[in-house]
Amino acid sequence: MDSLTLMEATIRQIRPPQDAFRRRCQARWDSLCKPIHGLGALEDLVSQIGAIQQTEQPDISKAEIVIMGADNGVVAEGVSQCGSEVTAQVLRNMARGDSTVCQMARFRQAEVIAVDIGLNEPAESPGVLNRAVRRGSGDIRTGPAMSRQETLQAIGEGIRIVQKRKAQGCQILIPGEMGIGNTTTSAACVCAYFDKEPEEIAGPGAGLTKEGVRHKAEVIRDALRVNRPDRGDVLDVLSKVGGLDIAGMTGLFLGSAAEGIPAIIDGLSAALSAYIAVRLAGPVRDYLIPGHLGTEPGDRILMEALGLAPPLRLGMHLGEGSGAALLLPLLDEALYVYRNLPHFGKCGIEAYKPLC
């Protein structure tokens, strides 16, 4: 099946979660010996997962973090603190379990899957899944990042990965990225989609100085002028000023919704991919779980556009799906309470009633 046909079939497969199970989960929360909605957003998230999984007993024991690794040609314009060679090295480290998100995953007993969706050179590591669409994207300051067909291919690879992870029992997914320069491509996409000035959206990424951020904004302005992305065509923007990592994660979000798997959003690039997926298929929105709000200006704009309020605001700008990974232990605790807290009758306390 070609990538466009696969994407269209995946979109047709997506159905809204079962709201009846959300109501049943919330009714159970309200029957437990605690103030109504006492755990706030954690109750809502558990109920949302129940609706997605179509059960009153949600289970996220098997969590997986899929990292889409790709190089971005715009790094040649000096928009990053380090060079493109770091992307492949970090992916190799992930394959050995030696990156930040791998430590988080080990603590929580989640699995990390490192994917080459478009490195400049092959990672040459047996632990890195090779799904490269092309070897690095183009420099968006001088031309498009990739063709529309390559964008569709990257989305298709993301979908196929989720299909395989579902068959392996994945119950909750974190789409993550590793791509030096992708805060520049992500910011360019945000500017195009929301008609924002580059100076509003360009952020420090992994550690640019104020002068570096000003230069980054200039590069984004040039990219938008040269490529003239059509904000009404979601894939045109992604193809012209985005990246393979963003496209691959878009496929992960689409695939998760189609397979009935909740997906936690990480920072800017993941939030952008989630937004693109929702633009392609509105019902994806109900499968999204906000993780954390990062420091990049575009992250807030994307979360507001999605109508999501990330529960974690820790000033993070690490990437790798790390902010989303931090939500997993909190969800685990919430689920433990959900399963084990006694009902009011057992505690000898009169049930709380909703305040009008």
Residue 352 covered by a domain: no
Q: Can you give the residue range of the structural domain that contains 299?
A: 63-329
Q: Quick one: 132 and 279 in the same domain?
A: yes
**Does 353 fall in a domain?**
no
pLDDT tens string, the chain, 356 residues long: the values are: 899 999 999 999 999 999 999 999 999 999 999 999 999 999 999 999 999 999 999 999 999 999 999 999 999 999 998 999 999 999 999 999 999 999 999 999 999 999 999 999 999 899 999 999 999 999 999 999 999 999 999 999 999 999 999 999 999 999 999 999 999 999 999 999 999 999 999 999 888 999 999 999 999 999 999 999 999 999 999 999 999 999 999 999 999 999 999 999 999 999 999 999 999 999 999 999 999 999 999 999 999 999 999 999 999 999 999 999 999 999 999 999 999 999 987 877 777 777 65
256 and 164 co-located in one domain: yes
Asked whether residue 174 falls in the same domain as residue 31, the answer is no
Query: What tens digit of pLDDT does each residue of 93-133 get?
Result: 999 999 999 999 999 999 999 999 999 999 989 999 999 99
Task: Tell me if 294 sits within 8 A of 270, measured CB to CB.
Answer: no
Residue 355 lies in a domain: no
CATH number at residue 233: 3.40.50.10210
Per-residue model confidence (pLDDT) at position 52: 99
288-290 and 263-265 beta bridge pairing: parallel
The confidence score (pLDDT) of residue 207 equals 84
221 within some domain: yes
Say if residue 53 is in the same domain as residue 201: no
Claim to verify: residue 7 and residue 89 sit in the same structural domain: no
Cα 296 to chain centroid, rounded: 15
Q: Both 40 and 97 in a single domain?
A: no
Q: Could you tell me if residue 44 is inside a domain?
A: yes
Number of domains in the chain: 2
Q: Which pLDDT value is given to residue 145?
A: 99
Q: In the prediction, which pLDDT does 344 show?
A: 84
pLDDT of residue 348: 77
Q: Tell me if 25 sits within 8 A of 58, measured CB to CB.
A: yes
For residues 285 and 191, state if they share a domain.
Answer: yes
Which pLDDT value is given to residue 353? 75
And the tokens for 259?
Answer: 């397979």
pLDDT for res 350: 77
Residue 223 lies in a domain: yes
Phi, psi (deg, nearest 5) at residue 63: -105, 140
* Same-domain status, 123 and 220: yes
Residue 276: its pLDDT value, please? Answer: 99
Examine the domain organization and report whether 174 and 28 are in the same domain.
no
pLDDT at 154: 99
Cα 221 to the chain's mean position, in Å? 25
Do 29 and 118 belong to one domain?
A: no
Structure tokens of 92?
A: 């190799």
Find the CATH number of the domain harbouring 44.
Answer: 1.10.1610.10
Q: Assess if residue 351 is contained within a domain.
A: no
Over the range 36-68, which residues count as b (16 or more CB within 10 Å of their CB) and which as e?
eeebeebbbbbbbbbbbbeeeebebeebbbbbb
pLDDT for the residue 356 = 54
CA distance 293 to 266: 8
Nearest alpha carbon to residue 213 among 198, 202, 200: 202
Q: Are 17 and 52 a contacting pair, CB within 8 Å?
A: yes
Q: Are residues 133 and 232 in the same domain?
A: yes
User: Which residues participate in catalysis according to the annotation?
Assistant: 320
CB 309 within 8 A of CB 303: yes
Domain-embedded: residue 147:
yes
Are 268 and 309 in a shared domain? yes
Q: Report yes or no: 219 and 191 within 8 Å, Cβ to Cβ.
A: no
